[in-house]
């Protein structure tokens, strides 16, 4: 019987993933990564432990706090120091849930790892390799945060929820098994900032970009004072604290001059960007390639052309301008069949 190590977060998705893998005949082992020590994480561990007891499977807790701090929290802080907007879930998936966790699975003699992500893994004849593909659920699909996984690991990943269209069916499975977290709400906040006050978190960790500076219109006119660059992000409209004849949006954060640059809505649309820290899951065989791309988790895919500039940089040119392209966020590339080609960080 093949063994699979399931990442148990204490939520309904990972719990049902374990159930489904048991039903498929795998020897399931549960494990929870201790990423951040607070009351929420301890409650999640306890919930995961109870689920594993209910399913009569082993449950391990891995202390990954040091790895999490180095790869996720420190990265989060450093991005804001550079006036960029990070996505900590992408770094967590890349370095912990599908790297650190995979190494732990091998130590336990497991052939596979599994999580409750809404995505699919399958062998693709066109690319002659295993690929990550969008889930059946258009609203729950999480492939955007999975592009950073090492391609060598993909054949050993299971996503049991990839073909579910609604969360209701998943909750019903949990209820049928008498799982205590069947009605547990989805987590919305950043796990290491449970009060969702990221500005306070950054200030507590030495990010001093709360120094006041000028709010400047793209035409050079000084319109007011900002409260610190870390309080603003590209595309922001509310909370600027300035009066102007037209609605204004944050267009750029100028770290060198400590300025927040604002302008009318037309100024937050761009049709090209540069990408580095690239991770390609499917080899690109030509310099220019037509793709679909997402510039943030909630964005719609848009038609674009991928252009290699050098070994570390890719240029992406969209067929139509995109709203609020934000440095530090990730762009993810797809083909027409919903297969993740790769992605990288927006510069």
d(CA 97, CA 109): 17
Q: For residues 301 and 334, is the Cβ–Cβ distance under 8 A?
A: yes
Q: Of 153, 111, 149, which is closest to residue 130 (Cα–Cα)?
A: 153
Which are the contacts of 126, defined by CB distance < 8 A and separation ≥ 6? none
Q: Is 52 a catalytic residue?
A: no
Q: Of 263, 160, 252, which is closest to residue 218 (Cα–Cα)?
A: 263
d(CA 219, CA 251): 12
Q: Of 232, 223, 308, which is closest to residue 268 (Cα–Cα)?
A: 232
**DSSP letter, residue 332:** E
Q: Is 110 a catalytic residue?
A: no
List Cβ<8 Å contacts ≥24 apart for 284-292: 284/308, 284/341, 284/342, 291/333, 291/334, 291/335, 291/341, 292/333, 292/334, 292/335, 292/336
Q: Which of 52, 79, 92, 110 is catalytic?
A: 92
Which are the catalytic amino acids? 92, 191
């Amino acid at each position: 019987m093949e063994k699979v190590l399931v990442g148990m977060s204490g939520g309904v998705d990972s719990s049902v993933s374990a159930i489904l893998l048991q039903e498929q005949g795998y020897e399931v082992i549960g494990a929870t990564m201790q990423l951040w020590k607070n009351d929420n994480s301890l409650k999640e561990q306890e919930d995961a432990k109870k689920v594993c007891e209910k399913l009569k499977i082993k449950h391990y807790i891995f202390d990954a706090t040091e790895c999490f701090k180095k790869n996720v929290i420190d990265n989060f802080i450093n991005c804001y120091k550079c006036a960029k907007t990070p996505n900590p879930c992408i770094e967590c998936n890349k370095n912990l849930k599908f790297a650190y966790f995979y190494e732990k699975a091998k130590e336990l003699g497991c052939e596979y790892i599994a999580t409750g992500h809404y995505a699919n893994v399958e062998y693709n004849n066109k690319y002659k390799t295993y690929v990550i593909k969008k889930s059946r659920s258009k609203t729950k699909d999480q492939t955007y945060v999975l592009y950073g996984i090492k391609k060598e690991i993909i054949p050993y990943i299971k996503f049991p929820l990839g073909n579910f269209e609604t969360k209701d069916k998943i909750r019903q499975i949990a209820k049928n098994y008498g799982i205590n977290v069947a009605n547990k709400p989805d987590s919305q906040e950043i796990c290491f900032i449970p009060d969702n006050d990221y500005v306070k978190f950054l200030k507590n960790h030495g990010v001093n970009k709360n120094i006041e500076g000028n709010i400047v219109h793209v035409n050079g006119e000084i319109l007011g004072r900002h409260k610190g660059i870390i309080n603003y992000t590209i595309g922001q409209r509310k909370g600027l604290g300035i009066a102007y004849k037209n609605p204004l949006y944050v267009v750029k954060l100028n770290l060198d001059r400590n300025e927040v640059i604002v302008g009318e809505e037309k100024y937050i649309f761009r049709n090209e960007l540069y990408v580095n820290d690239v991770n390609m899951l499917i080899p690109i065989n030509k310099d220019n390639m037509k793709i679909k791309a997402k510039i943030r988790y909630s964005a719609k895919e848009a038609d674009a052309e991928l252009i290699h500039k050098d070994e570390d940089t890719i240029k992406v040119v969209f067929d139509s301008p995109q709203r609020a392209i934000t440095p530090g966020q990730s762009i993810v590339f797809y083909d027409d069949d919903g297969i993740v080609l790769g992605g990288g960080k927006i510069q």
